[in-house]
Amino acid sequence: MSSMAKIFVVVNLVLAVCVFGAAAVLLGAQDDYKMAHQKTLTQFDDYKKAQDDALEAKDRQITQLAQARGEAVASATQAKAETETHRTQLEKSRATDTTQRATIESLSQSLEGLRTQLKDNSEQMRKMSDAAQESTQNMLSWKNKYEEELQNRNRLEVELSNSQDMIQSLSAQKGDLERQVRQQKFELGEYAKKFGTLISGNRGSNGRVMAVKSLNNGVLVSISVGKEDGVRDGDTYNIRRGTNYIGSIRIDSVMRGQAVGIFDTKYTGGNGNPDVGDIAYAAR
């Protein structure tokens, strides 16, 4: 074989080796490319799945936000309705408050009028009390005069009994004195009718009911006779109205011209409680 042929063969072998080497390199690179591509596809799938999961999470979040927004809108609508209701109630309360203020103002004016009337009534009561005290003093004065006349009469009767010689001369005086006594009794009787007391110098004098007050333990009765009329603690006085028997009281407090006792509610005449003006007389 010639040298050229040998060179040609060697060159072909080198070329063949180079081709096969290049092919092997290409085949290896292709496998690496396939593996890289497969890895890239796997990474892409993972990325896509992650993106899908993120999108699904976003969708759920958007749905929750939309639901929360709907609930917030409903709450706002309800709050608005409640606010309107409260506003209406507030308006009604204000109207009611205005009415109550007007009522209070009217009541205050009425109360002021009542206070003025009470003041006038108190003044009238004071004047009546002064008049009653003056009348009582006049009555006591008449009583003293009556007692003096009785003493004069008794003295004259003693003198008449001891001096028969003076009977004729004193009979006229006696008649005058008796007429004066009758006049005094008549006038005292008129005063008693007017001021509620029948005065007598003897114990157990009759009187009239001056005041009646209901208590928790009974009825308190004040009568117009007292120590000066012979009334004593523990005395029993009957009460009548006209001819009707009302009941009795037991005296437990005696003053100069007045006595107070408790009305016995167990034994009554069936005509109610005593009243001002009823006659009080000593039980015999």
Instruction: Determine, yes or no, domain membership for 4.
Output: no
**Structure pTM?**
0.32
Residue 176 structural domain = 151-195
In a domain, 108, yes or no: no
Q: Determine, yes or no, domain membership for 112.
A: no
Q: Are 184 and 145 in contact (CB under 8 A)?
A: yes
- Identify the domain boundary among 195, 225, 247: 195
Q: End of a domain among 195, 226, 260?
A: 195
Buried b (16+ CB within 10 A) or exposed e, 11-36: eeeeeeeeeeeeeeeeeeeeeeeeee
Q: Total domain count for the chain?
A: 2
What's phi and psi for 243, nearest 5 deg? Answer: -100, 5
With respect to residue 81, please indicate whether it lies within any of the assigned structural domains. Answer: no
8 A C-beta contact, residue 252 and residue 261: yes
Q: Is residue 109 part of a domain?
A: no
Q: Are strands 259-263 and 207-215 parallel, antiparallel or unpaired?
A: unpaired
**Residue 221 and residue 271 share a domain:** yes
Domain end call among 165, 195, 225: 195
Closest among 179, 204, 216 to 259, alpha carbons compared? 204
Report if residue 187 sits inside a domain: yes
Looking at residue 221, which CATH number applies to its domain? 2.40.10.410
The answer to the question of residue 277 being in a domain is: yes
Tens digit of each residue's pLDDT, the chain (284 residues): 677 777 877 788 888 888 877 777 777 777 777 787 788 888 888 888 888 888 888 888 888 888 888 888 888 888 888 888 888 888 888 888 888 888 888 878 888 887 888 788 878 888 887 887 887 788 787 778 878 888 777 777 777 777 676 666 665 565 555 444 444 444 444 444 444 444 343 456 789 999 999 888 789 999 999 999 999 999 999 999 988 999 999 999 999 999 999 998 877 778 888 999 999 999 86
Residues 215 and 273 in one domain: yes
The answer to the question of residue 260 being in a domain is yes
